[in-house]
C-alpha cells in the first residue's frame, strides 16, 4: 500500500485502498447527514498483513472497535474469530455468521444472563477477570451441566505509554486477576473441576501501544505463571496476549506502521517461542482491534456555519462528540481535511460540533483551506472506536455507516 491513504487528486480527496480508490465526494451526492465510510479493501489488506506478520497466531478481532456487518464479513471471510465483551456483542457476532467456537469473551462485569448464553453454547473461551466471576462461572456451569472453557486474564501491574483511560494493566485498574491471587484462583478452579476446563492465560495491557517494552516485560512475567497453571491443569494450552497495537494518528505512514507491526511480532515471538518448544500444541492468540480497522474509516460531515469572532474562527459542523467522542474523551488527535481543496493557502480554525458542551470539538487551531457554509469536512481514522462509541446525546441522529462509495 502507499504510505498515505487520503490524498487529493484534481483538488478532491480520494481514499486509497489496496486495489481501489474511492472519490469521497460520491458520498455527498445525496447527503442527508453525517456519514462514516469504511474502505473494506483497506481492512482486507490489514488483516492479511497482520496474519502474515503474526503467523500461527490465532486472531480474534475486538468487535468493540467497529461492529459494522460489512467490516465483520471481511474478518469472517479471512477466518478471524471475534473478541466480545457483552451479550449484545455475542449476539451480534452470531447474527453476522460467526460461531460460538470463534468467540473469546472478555470483560469485568459479565452478568448471569450473558454467561448463560456463553456457557450454554460452549463458547471458545471466557477470559475470567476475578475470583467471584470464576465462582459464578463454576456454579452456573455445574447447574447447566456444562464444562466452561476458561482462561485467566492476569493483571501484570505494568504500565504502557498511552492515555491513562485506555491503559488496563496496572494494579489500580479494574481489569484482570492480580498475580498474587493466582493460588486462590487455582484452588477455586480445582473445586469446580467437573464444570470448568482451564485452557490458559490471557493478557491485555491496554490500547494504542506504539512501544513494546511493557509488552515484553508482561509476557516474561506471565510465562512462569502459565507454566504453573499448566502443571495444575494439563489441558491448559492457550496463551492470549490481547490487543493494543497502536496506529499513527498524526501522520499517514503505512510503511512505518508495517515496521511497528514487525517490532510487535518480534517481541511476541521472542518471548513466546520458547514456550512453543516446551508445550506441543500451544495455541497463541491475539485480540487486535484498532490496528486492523482504525484507518479504514472516515467521517464526512457538512459545514453549517463558519463563525468568526474577534478571537477565533470556528467551523461548526453537523457532527460532533455524539459521533466521534475520542477528541473530547482522550484529547485524541484526528486529522481533518476539507473534501475539496480550492487553494494551497490555509487558515486556522477550531472544528466543532453542534453539541451543547465545550468539549465538543474535533480539532483546535487546525490549518485548513478556506472553508464556507455547506462545504464538506472529512475526519480521518474513524474506523475504530468512532461509530461504536457514538450516542444520540442531544437527541441528534446517529451517523449513517456505509462501505459503499455511492449512497
Q: Name the residues annotated as catalytic.
A: 356
Q: Does 328 bind ligand LLP (CB under 6 A)?
A: no
Piece of the chain touching ligand LLP by CB under 6 A; list 118-126, 239-247, 267-275, 374-382: 239-247
- Residues belonging to the chain: 407
Using CB under 6 A as the binding rule, the residues of this chain from 186 to 225 that contact ligand LLP are 204, 207-208
Q: Does 385 bind ligand LLP (CB under 6 A)?
A: yes
From the list 350, 353, 335, 300, the residue with the least C-alpha distance to 37 is 300
| Residue (332 or 407) nearer to ligand LLP, CB | 332
Bridging pattern class, strands 346-352 and 376-379: unpaired
Q: Could you write out the DSSP letters of every residue in 219-266?
A: HHHHHHHHHHHHHH-TT--EEE----B---SSS--HHHHHHHHHHHHH
d(Cα 403, Cα 72) in Å, to the nearest integer? 12
Q: Does 34 bind ligand LLP (CB under 6 A)?
A: no
Q: Does 244 bind ligand LLP (CB under 6 A)?
A: yes
| Residue (60 or 192) nearer to ligand LLP, CB | 60
Q: Does 62 bind ligand LLP (CB under 6 A)?
A: yes
Q: Does 290 bind ligand LLP (CB under 6 A)?
A: yes
- Coarse DSSP helix, strand, coil percentages of the chain, rounded to the nearest 5 percent: 35, 25, 40
Using CB under 6 A as the binding rule, the residues of this chain from 293 to 312 that contact ligand LLP are none
| Residue (27 or 296) nearer to ligand LLP, CB | 296
Piece of the chain touching ligand LLP by CB under 6 A; list 12-20, 282-290, 371-379, 394-402: 282-290
Residues 6+ apart with CB under 8 A from 234: none
Are 283 and 264 in contact by the 8 Å Cβ rule? The answer is no
Q: Does 65 bind ligand LLP (CB under 6 A)?
A: yes
Q: Does 129 bind ligand LLP (CB under 6 A)?
A: no
The size of the interface with ligand LLP (CB under 6 A), counted in residues, is: 20
d(Cα 12, Cα 264) in Å, to the nearest integer? 35
Q: Does 5 bind ligand LLP (CB under 6 A)?
A: no
Piece of the chain touching ligand LLP by CB under 6 A; list 111-119, 256-264, 269-277, 281-289: 281-289
Indicate the SS3 state at residue 213.
Answer: helix
| Residue (152 or 291) nearer to ligand LLP, CB | 291
Are 67 and 43 in contact by the 8 Å Cβ rule? The answer is no
Are 106 and 174 in contact by the 8 Å Cβ rule? The answer is no
Using CB under 6 A as the binding rule, the residues of this chain from 88 to 107 that contact ligand LLP are 106
Q: Does 166 bind ligand LLP (CB under 6 A)?
A: yes
From the list 240, 244, 242, 213, the residue with the least C-alpha distance to 229 is 240
d(Cα 337, Cα 322) in Å, to the nearest integer? 19
CB of 367 to ligand LLP, least distance (A): 24
Q: Does 83 bind ligand LLP (CB under 6 A)?
A: yes
Question: Which residues are near ligand LLP by CB under 6 A?
Answer: 62, 65, 83, 106, 166, 204, 207-208, 242-245, 287-291, 326, 385, 389
Amino acid at each position: 500500500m502507499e504510505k498515505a491513504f487520503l490524498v487529493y487528486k484534481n483538488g478532491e480527496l480520494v481514499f486509497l485502498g489496496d486495489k481501489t480508490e474511492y472519490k469521497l465526494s460520491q458520498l455527498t451526492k445525496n447527503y442527508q447527514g453525517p456519514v462514516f465510510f469504511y474502505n473494506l479493501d483497506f481492512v482486507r489488506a490489514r488483516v492479511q498483513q497482520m496474519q502474515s506478520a503474526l503467523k500461527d497466531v490465532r486472531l480474534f478481532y475486538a468487535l468493540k472497535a467497529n461492529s459494522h456487518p460489512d467490516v465483520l464479513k471481511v474478518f469472517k471471510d479471512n477466518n478471524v474469530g471475534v473478541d466480545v465483551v457483552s451479550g449484545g456483542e455475542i449476539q451480534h457476532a452470531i447474527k453476522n455468521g460467526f460461531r460460538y467456537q470463534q468467540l473469546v469473551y472478555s470483560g469485568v462485569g459479565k452478568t448471569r444472563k450473558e454467561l448463560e448464553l456463553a456457557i450454554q453454547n460452549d463458547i471458545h473461551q471466557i477470559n475470567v477477570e476475578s475470583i467471584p466471576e470464576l465462582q459464578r462461572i463454576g456454579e452456573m456451569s455445574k447447574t447447566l451441566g456444562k464444562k466452561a472453557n476458561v482462561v485467566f486474564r492476569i493483571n501484570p501491574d505494568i504500565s504502557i505509554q498511552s492515555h491513562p483511560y485506555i491503559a488496563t494493566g496496572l494494579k489500580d485498574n479494574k481489569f484482570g486477576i492480580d498475580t498474587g491471587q493466582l493460588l486462590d484462583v487455582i484452588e477455586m478452579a480445582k473445586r469446580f473441576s467437573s464444570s470448568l476446563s482451564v485452557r490458559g492465560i490471557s493478557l491485555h495491557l491496554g490500547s494504542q501501544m506504539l512501544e513494546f517494552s511493557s509488552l515484553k516485560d508482561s509476557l516474561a512475567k506471565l510465562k512462569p505463571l502459565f507454566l504453573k497453571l499448566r502443571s495444575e491443569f494439563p489441558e491448559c494450552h492457550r496463551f492470549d496476549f490481547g490487543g493494543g497495537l497502536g496506529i499513527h494518528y498524526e501522520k499517514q505512514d503505512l510503511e512505518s506502521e508495517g515496521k511497528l507491526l514487525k517490532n510487535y511480532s518480534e517481541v511476541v515471538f521472542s518471548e513466546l517461542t520458547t514456550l512453543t518448544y516446551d508445550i506441543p500444541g500451544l495455541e497463541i492468540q491475539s485480540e487486535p482491534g484498532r490496528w486492523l480497522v482504525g484507518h479504514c474509516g472516515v467521517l464526512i460531515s457538512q459545514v453549517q456555519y463558519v463563525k468568526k469572532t474577534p478571537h477565533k474562527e470556528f467551523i461548526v459542523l453537523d457532527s460532533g462528540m455524539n459521533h466521534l467522542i475520542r477528541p473530547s474523551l482522550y484529547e485524541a488527535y484526528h486529522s481533518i481535511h476539507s473534501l475539496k481543496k480550492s487553494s494551497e493557502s490555509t487558515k486556522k480554525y477550531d472544528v466543532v460540533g453542534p453539541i451543547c458542551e465545550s468539549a465538543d470539538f474535533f480539532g483546535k487551531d487546525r490549518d485548513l483551506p478556506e472553508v464556507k457554509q455547506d462545504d464538506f469536512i472529512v475526519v480521518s481514522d474513524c474506523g475504530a472506536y468512532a461509530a461504536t462509541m457514538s450516542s444520540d446525546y442531544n437527541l441528534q441522529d446517529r451517523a449513517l455507516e456505509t462501505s459503499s462509495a455511492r449512497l
